[in-house]
């Protein structure tokens, strides 16, 4: 077959290909994302062999219980849907220094303890650097194999020769194929590398973890097709200077995408946080106005968190509004509801809302907590420390129902709270929970009167 080289233009955001440069991508509508790359095109003969495909009725497809491999890390198993599915391709993304390589090295440690053969391939660190990090985590056996290589052809041959159970690629942006002339990390190289690894994972039934860099917007660097090709996409969130980390699944073909795993960074690696609610509420101020405990659901797990608000008179003509950990526009909307429905004149006040602990919450169930925190700071009256609130607030000031109220109230009772302020329509579903006072409210005016 003859080979010819030509120039094509790829969209860095979605991977769309064009023969000429365009200002706006016709697929994802992003501007100035096209880059020129040299590609090699193979000229094949016109004779093609067509294989006959067979259609199968849905009732004839046999279902078998899928085998899952436990990582012995309960928080990771939760996010993966119960464990690792053999032959799956898993992408792990996150900011630099957040702990991606540390987590995967701990996974390798647990898998080799379960007598699984693991191959760790690094394109960014030397063998000595990996050894230094491994020494802080504990003992490793000879079942963990290391390889420092970026050439995909060599990596393919090593995987086919060693036949490991699990492979870790750190990172996909450093891998390159000699058949693609563009630089490592480009759209063509990332797509070719992911395609090669996907064929190895499915063909050899090898589980492959891929580490991906993220852009300044927080998405995985490279074309969007990278996330479409893999089976599972996990994001590591959190401040690299803080001790906690949150592992969130944004795509999972073998389980739910609503679960999160909470970890704490320590000197000897990442430690699981079995009770995130207790971790988030640690260090709460006593008898302080503007501090309210609310409840958010992450998958099937209720998490109690502290919402802080600070309302003070503005020294300028335009008041400042700041939100950390929640939606800025949602805070403005709730403050407008307070002005219209309750009559509070907040137009001359600065407002700062913060979710303590650095966690990001966008669930509507924390609306009532935000409203109560703003009112508490505005009136300078603290809310009782043994009170927890949750509920969605509408534009008419009504408090609407949220999902899974039983789990939220049960979590508050377990942590020692005495009172729960919930939507009135949810009282019927939590009537069987004893030992905690339940107060149902229909609107924010009733909630304010209760506290």
Which among 73, 75, 99, 98 is positioned nearest to 301, based on CA atoms?
Answer: 75
User: Was 99 annotated as part of a binding site?
Assistant: yes
User: Was 43 annotated as part of a binding site?
Assistant: no
CA–CA dist 400, 392 (Å, integer): 5
- What three-state secondary structure class fits 192? helix
SS3 content of the chain, % helix, strand, coil (to 5): 30, 30, 40
User: Was 367 annotated as part of a binding site?
Assistant: no
CA–CA dist 229, 201 (Å, integer): 12
Residue 254's Cβ-count burial label (10 Å; 0-12, 13-18, 19+) is middle
Contacts of 66 (CB under 8 A, 6+ apart): 85, 254
User: Was 94 annotated as part of a binding site?
Assistant: yes
User: Was 100 annotated as part of a binding site?
Assistant: yes
User: Does the N-terminal peptide bond of residue 171 adopt cis geometry, omega within 30 degrees of 0?
Assistant: yes
User: Was 216 annotated as part of a binding site?
Assistant: no
Residue 281's Cβ-count burial label (10 Å; 0-12, 13-18, 19+) is middle
User: Was 350 annotated as part of a binding site?
Assistant: no
Buried b (16+ CB within 10 A) or exposed e, 413-422: beeebebbbb
Contacts of 246 (CB under 8 A, 6+ apart): 236, 237, 238, 260, 261, 262, 263, 359
Strand partners, 122: 148, 170
CB 247 within 8 A of CB 79: yes
H/E element, 158: helix 152-162
CB 378 within 8 A of CB 384: no
Q: Which residues are annotated as a binding site for ATP?
A: 94-101
Q: Which residues are annotated as a binding site?
A: 94-101
């Amino acid at each position: 077959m003859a080979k010819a080289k030509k120039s094509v233009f790829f969209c860095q955001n979605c991977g769309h290909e064009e023969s000429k440069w365009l200002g706006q991508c016709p697929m994802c509508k992003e501007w100035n994302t096209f880059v020129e790359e040299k590609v090699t095109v193979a000229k094949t003969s016109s004779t093609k062999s067509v294989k006959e495909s067979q259609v199968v009725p849905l009732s004839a497809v046999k279902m078998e219980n899928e085998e899952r491999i436990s990582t012995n890390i309960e928080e990771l198993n939760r996010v993966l849907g119960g464990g690792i599915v053999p032959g799956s391709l898993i992408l792990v993304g996150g900011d630099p220094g957040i702990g991606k390589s540390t987590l995967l090295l701990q996974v390798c440690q647990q898998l080799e303890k379960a007598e699984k053969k693991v191959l760790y391939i690094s394109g960014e660190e030397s063998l000595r650097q990996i050894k230094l990090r491994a020494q802080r985590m504990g003992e490793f056996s000879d079942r963990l194999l290391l390889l420092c290589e970026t050439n995909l052809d060599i990596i393919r041959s090593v995987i086919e020769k060693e036949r490991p159970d699990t492979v870790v690629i750190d990172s996909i942006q450093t891998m390159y194929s000699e058949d693609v002339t563009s630089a490592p990390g480009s759209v063509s190289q990332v797509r070719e590398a992911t395609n090669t690894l996907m064929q190895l994972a499915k063909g050899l039934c090898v589980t492959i973890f891929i580490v991906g860099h993220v852009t300044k917007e927080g998405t995985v660097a490279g074309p969007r097709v990278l996330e479409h090709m893999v089976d599972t996409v996990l994001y590591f969130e959190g401040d690299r200077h803080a001790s906690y980390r949150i592992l969130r699944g944004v795509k999972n073909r073998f389980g739910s995408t609503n679960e999160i795993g909470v970890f704490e960074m320590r000197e000897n690696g990442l430690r699981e946080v079995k009770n995130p609610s207790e971790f988030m509420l640690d260090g709460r101020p006593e008898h302080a106005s503007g501090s309210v405990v609310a409840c958010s659901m992450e998958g099937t797990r209720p998490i109690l968190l502290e919402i802080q608000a600070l309302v003070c008179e503005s020294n300028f003509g335009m008041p400042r509004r700041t939100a950390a950990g929640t939606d800025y526009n949602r805070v403005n909307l709730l403050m407008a509801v307070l002005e219209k429905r309750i009559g509070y004149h907040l137009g001359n006040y600065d407002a700062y809302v913060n979710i303590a602990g650095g966690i990001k919450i966008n669930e509507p169930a924390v609306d009532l907590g935000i409203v109560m925190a703003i009112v508490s700071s505005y009136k300078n009256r603290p809310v009782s420390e043994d009170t927890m609130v949750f509920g969605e607030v509408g534009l008419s000031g009504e408090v609407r129902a949220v999902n899974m109220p039983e789990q939220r109230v049960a979590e508050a009772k377990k942590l020692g709270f005495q009172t729960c302020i919930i939507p009135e329509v949810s009282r019927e579903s939590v009537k069987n929970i004893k030992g905690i006072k339940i107060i149902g409210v229909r609107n924010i005016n009733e909630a304010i009167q209760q506290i």
